[in-house]
Structures are given as structure tokens and as C-alpha cells.
Amino acid sequence: MRRSLGVLMVVALLLSFGPNANATRTWNAGNVGNWTDTANWSGGVLPSASETAQVWSGTPTVNANVTIGQLLMGYNSTDVATLNINTGSNLTISKASAELMCLVKAGTSAGANVTVNHSSGTVRVFSGSGTGEVRLVTASTTTGTAAYNLSGTAVLDTEILSKGNKTNTAATFNATGGTLVLRNMIYRFGLISEGAGFNQGTAKLEVGAINTVGAISVGNATNAMDYTAGTGAILNIDIAGASNYDNVTQYGSIANFAGATMQVDLLGGFTPTMGQTFDVWTFSDKTKAGSGSVVGLPTGWSASWVDTNADLSTDTLRLTFTPEPATIALLGLGFLAMRRNKK
């Protein structure tokens, strides 16, 4: 009796620890089908919220709301893998570490061909420490083809978006729609046009989490990047106060917004005053320049590139609140009405 009781206690203790946080679940090579079909995973077990999902080859479709710890794809030169997120389902990757989603994970003979087709639903890559990263190829390889295709109504929400190896010319982030939410940084990139920069394509770019004030960097001190927004692209700027608004710091030589639409959202009931300015895009090197006019601003707003350090180089994109005379007149009438009511 005592022995049986002891066995039961040991079993209960083991179960209390839950799934192994270091465990991996591997998609059966070459399989095509739904993520939630246990037959597609080794051992017939789906990856849990604390585990790493490995898709070396095959075509899984995310067909339900899925939470995992990490996603690694494409390992060897013969691997061909395609991940589809197009059913309106959400994929959350949230292990407390970096490189949470890697499209080409270098193996013994790197050179895999990996594609992510994301046209609906949300992919959220979030470590909570600012290091959660979507990496197209692992930093140790210059081979392999990786493409993340963002389109439709899809949302990619990540702390860091990285090519991984900036010399890899076969890694691309193709944004023909959807929303890219960036909470921290874009770096090591040559996107779409494969230059030394980041091309937003025609997607919407959110700085920080949606409906919150955030700050991101385009490049860093050792990885300068130019920035271009394609025709039809949207840059969303949230403003919650005189010194509380979205801001981008760029490490590069130019930021080109030609053809882009800027969307300004005021948060928390904040109302700017006449002539109030907000410097939303600044260069770390004040000798650099920005160019291109921003279109589509709400009524009462204007945008211009300005020189903030008198060196004859434009270094900052500044938004200015300048309501039209009719708006000012309405504000004045409202003020007079308030005074009369007080009397």
C-alpha cells in the first residue's frame, strides 16, 4: 500500500511540471495539411505553448488559434517548406528568448527554400523583453531562400524584424498589403528591392503596439539602412500628448515617403494646439536627409522635412497642427459660448 502511494506521488509530481519547455515537435517531412491535425506531427502530438515547432519541409496551414514557444523552418539544402496563414486564425510565438521565428535555420548543409504566405489573421512574435524576432535566415548562413509575404488583412506584430544575415540576397519581406506592427527595430535588411535598406512596400506600418505610443529604430549604429515607403503605403502615427507620440530613429542616409499616406491618430482625448509640432522621424546622424512629400494627412495637419541643427541638411520629419480658418472660427465660437454660459 505504501509503495502504491509512493508511486502515485511521484507520478503526480512529474505531471505537475507540465510540458518540457525545451521540447521540440517536428512536422512530418513533406506533409501537407492543417496545423491541428496530430497526424502531421511526429509522435502525434501538437506543439504546446512552451515548445519549439520545427517545420523542416512540408506545408502546414494554421487553421486555428495556435500558441507555441518558437518556430524554426528549413534546415538542410533539400528542405522546401511553406507556411500558410490565410484562414483568419492567429499564430502566437512567445518564448522568452530571441529569434522566435526563423524561416531558414542553418543545418549541416544550409540552403533550404522557405515561404510564409500570410494574408489574414495575426502572427504575434513577442518575448516581452524587446528581443522577440522574426528572422528570415539564421545569422550564420549566407545561403537559403526565405520569403515572408504579407498581404490582405494580415497583421504581423513583432518586436524585431531582421534578415539575419545582411549579405543574403535571397531573403525578402514582401509587403503588398496588411499591417506590419514593429515594437523595436528593423535591421540587417535589403527588402523587396534588395538594396541597403527597408522598403515598406504597400503595407501599413504601425510604430509600437496598435493604438499605443511607440518608438522603433530603422537599422542601428553598425547597420545603417535607407527607408522607402511604396506608393499606397500607410505610416500610422499615434499622438497622445505634447511629448508622448510615435517616433522613429533612422540609421541611414535617406527616408523617402513619396506616395505614402500618413495616418494620424489622437489618443486619450488629446487635442493639439494651434501650431504645435511633433518630430516623428529623426536621423541619428544629423547630416543625413529625408525626402518625399507625405499625402493623405487629416485636415489641419501638414508634414515637412526640416533642418534642426542649421547645417543645411534636412534631418527630421515634422508634423504641424494648423487647423483651417473655419475650424479656428468654430473653436472661437465655442469659447465665446462657454464664457456666456459662465456669466
User: How far is the C-alpha of 248 from the C-alpha of 215, rounded, in Å?
Assistant: 6
In this prediction, residue 12 has a pLDDT band, given cuts at 50, 70 and 90, of: very low
Q: Name which of 224, 163, 222 is nearest 192 in CA terms.
A: 163
Q: Is residue 64 part of a domain?
A: yes
- Across the chain, mean pLDDT equals 84
Q: Which residue type occupies 156?
A: L
Q: How much of the chain, in percent, has pLDDT values that exceed 70?
A: 85
Which range in 17-21, 154-158, 285-289 is most confidently predicted, on average pLDDT? 154-158
Look at 4-8, 123-127, 171-175, 185-189 and tell me which has the smallest mean pLDDT. 4-8
What pLDDT is attached to residue 334?
A: 44
Predicted confidence (pLDDT) per residue in 192-228, tens digit: 434 457 888 899 999 999 999 999 999 887 778 888 8
Q: Is residue 15 part of a domain?
A: no
Q: Is residue 17 part of a domain?
A: no
What pLDDT is attached to residue 292?
A: 75
Q: What is the mean pLDDT of the segment spanning 131-160?
A: 90
pTM of the model: 0.85
Q: Is residue 4 part of a domain?
A: no
What pLDDT is attached to residue 148?
A: 95
- For the cut 90, the answer to whether the pLDDT of residue 165 exceeds it is no
User: How far is the C-alpha of 245 from the C-alpha of 197, rounded, in Å?
Assistant: 24
What pLDDT is attached to residue 20?
A: 52
What pLDDT is attached to residue 291?
A: 78
Q: What is the mean pLDDT of the segment spanning 122-148?
A: 89
Q: Is residue 7 part of a domain?
A: no
Give the domain extent around 196. Answer: 22-342
Q: Name which of 210, 325, 204, 333 is nearest 262 in CA terms.
A: 204
∠56-189-87 over CA atoms, to 5°?
50
Q: Is residue 1 part of a domain?
A: no
Q: What is the mean pLDDT of the segment spanning 71-100?
A: 93
- For the cut 60, the answer to whether the pLDDT of residue 68 exceeds it is yes
Q: Is residue 112 part of a domain?
A: yes
Question: Residue 294 has which C-alpha cell?
Answer: 507625405
In this prediction, residue 325 has a pLDDT band, given cuts at 50, 70 and 90, of: low
- How many domains, the chain? 1
Q: Is residue 11 part of a domain?
A: no
